[in-house]
Structure 1
């Protein structure tokens, strides 16, 4: 399993890193669109859409994404999409995690099919807008989620005693979540202090909001990275599967890799607006 994970990670880095660092924004956008469409396919499968349904749903998402490009690229142009996605995560996300409705039946299923399209299209626009602000900016945005996840993993292993959401993801702890938050705060503070690779998400928030509100903004983003992770975990638990798919050998599916990004991306773009 470890060998498979390493090989998959190397292949992914070999594809994504050069495109992110050196390719034009258009090529980056095309690659992200490819990822988003596969994530939509997995979303439909987790909502137990049978037969060719997931493929059709992915195609509908692709059409919606292409149509949304008529808005243009950038934070201001995609603001309505970011707002709609943010409303979903701020209201529906915590509600679902607290009340635990059956997501693959009735009104919730229909709602999540519609919401999913908005979420994925907003995700694409957010990443493209971030890339337009520069390679350091988009990497710092991704790094926030990665650091929160890595910090939570190691903090949870070392200190985890109090379960965060035992009915949804038994491995997650409050100590892990706090550890992930601390790692993000330390790295963000170091990046701002050293003026490293600016502009970054951290320097942009500091310039826009000041120190105290930047701390609160980063805390909000870390918190919703956890919400995104738990939301997908709940979808998988209700669907009776361990991974969103087997598209990435050793790593599960696309949603397993981007679940925490889905709420963070639109919220981050709105905080900068």
Structure 2
């Protein structure tokens, strides 16, 4: 085939035409090949004597096998697992978890129920014992990893139990609620009409709703139901009420009123668009959330 590799038949023709005394250019013309192809073929296979087609074909076959690329070896199971651990750890690191800690966590996450020892982690991750120890301490502080005695020896094993995600979820939910409460206090300090107050208002509203959604609260939960009842009482009274007044009017124990008020403080989105205000440690009232209306809107409504 013109332009392709020389075949055994091509080489036999070259051998015959060379014996007839034809030059390289003429042989190339007859085969439809560049003259350089014929000259190289002859120079490569007739260096120590006459050009022989069978010998040239055999040498060409050996040369082709040497050039054939070897198929890369299939990755081992350990290499596949290590690749997954590193990839997953990179995703967790992007959320703020230290890279080494993320690798240790994913390694434990993909281990069986018996967990892993420190030596296991060192061997699997190919890191120092100090790096593993530091990462385990970080994960323990977040309550993501637990220690268990090793039944077969004196070493401890590190495990991730089935409740790890619930604890992490609840921890985040509590933190978001605290941020919302702090933002509300900031609004009261700086004033809703200030730049700082407006920023804190948006921030508080975001984290309050996030906390409420993450906690899975619904209006059927007793704590939320009590909180809404207290809000309704304050709105209906239209004036500040003490804890004792609320308890007497609602016919509740005092502790129940305190728990309902605490629920509103921890989940301010429950009262949206209203906000609970403490007149003093024993008296409360209700007002519109300072972040719900802009200063201009408030002024227009007060005219």
TM-score range, shorter chain: under 0.3
- TM-score of the pair, normalised by structure 1: 0.22
Q: Which structure has the highest strand share of the two?
A: 2
- Greater RCO (CA < 8 Å, at least 6 residues apart): 1
